[in-house]
Amino acid sequence: ADILFSNDFDCIEDEQVEVSPLDEESEDDAIDPLLFVQKYISSDDTVKRQRVARSLADAMRWTESDSDVEVVLLAAEQLAMDIEPRVRIDVIEELPDITAFCLEDSRSIDIVLNRLLPVLAKYLCDPHDQVRKSGHATLFSMLEHQLIGSVDVEHFVVPVLSKMASADSCMSQLEAARVVMRVAPMLEPEVIGRVFIPLIGILSCAQFFEVRKTCASGFGPLSQAVPGDDNKRTVLPLFRSLCSDSVWGVRKGCTETFVDVSLACTPEQRRDVLCQLFLSFLQDSSKWVSEFWNADIS
């Protein structure tokens, strides 16, 4: 047993650990981030451009003048259009820290509005799947940390989502639905009702059932974000329509969020709207809906 243990240990000792090129030490490590950005922003080496992208937030902290800030912003805008998806992903992951730094100085708020948010919006419909997902995650993170607000989303994000929702593509509409149903509850009720409810209405009538199902599954948080009569006037009609969808998977999606919708409703709304839906699920033509509903309410 001792010999076997010794041999196993030797194997571990001799094993070569692969080091990413991004983690390798370089003589440039001693250069301050701002100079590093200036030196390698246009490098033909993808790894160096990735390092530049990953150092953008640090470079912004090194800025001492408006011209220094402009160097970082131009680098972010240039790398946001880089041919390599890996570089674009690294840029998007730096945006929250850059935005947070800019918001610390009221003079830099215009930078966020005019330079950084257009970059963020561009990523939401990037042709590369992983870049788009990183863009979505960054948008959610910036909203959760209150780095951007309802007005910013309305001006910069909604136009992109509207274009995605109207595209004749299941994937485009599906991603629009995922973002819309996640973002809407984070916003002010007035913006939800005026801007997002019409968009959700379009997506809830999409020809692709996957899109409608995604909408159905997000109505719990949406209902809780729109209080009182506004909920009855705007949210519940859309939810009721999806509850009678021709595809059982959409109806089942409604059952999964039904309790959360109910909790956001007034007693009158439960009596006038939800009771009828409750009974319809019990008698649904699909056993996948009726059996799930019976088991769930038990």
Using the structure block, give the residue that is written with the tokens 């004749």: 168
Q: What is the pLDDT of residue 42?
A: 92
Task: Please give the full DSSP string across 54-85, using - where no structure is assigned.
Answer: HTHHHHHHT--SHHHHHHHHHHHHHHTT-S-H
Tell me which residue of 228, 158, 229 sits closest to 187, measured CA to CA: 158
16: alpha, beta or left? (left if phi > 0; alpha if psi -120 to 50): beta
Q: What is the pLDDT of residue 24?
A: 53
Q: What is the pLDDT of residue 89?
A: 96
Mean pLDDT lowest among 16-20, 260-264, 270-274: 16-20
Q: What six digits make up the tokens of 115?
A: 């330079």
**Between 120 and 11, residue with greater pLDDT:** 120
Would you say residue 298 has pLDDT above 70?
A: no
Using the structure block, give the residue that is written with the tokens 């509207």: 162
Per-residue confidence band for 293, with pLDDT thresholds at 50, 70 and 90: confident
Per-residue confidence band for 23, with pLDDT thresholds at 50, 70 and 90: low
Mean pLDDT of 249-276: 92
Would you say residue 7 has pLDDT above 90?
A: no
This prediction has a pTM of 0.84
Q: Helix-strand-coil percent breakdown of the chain, rounded to 5? A: 80, 0, 20
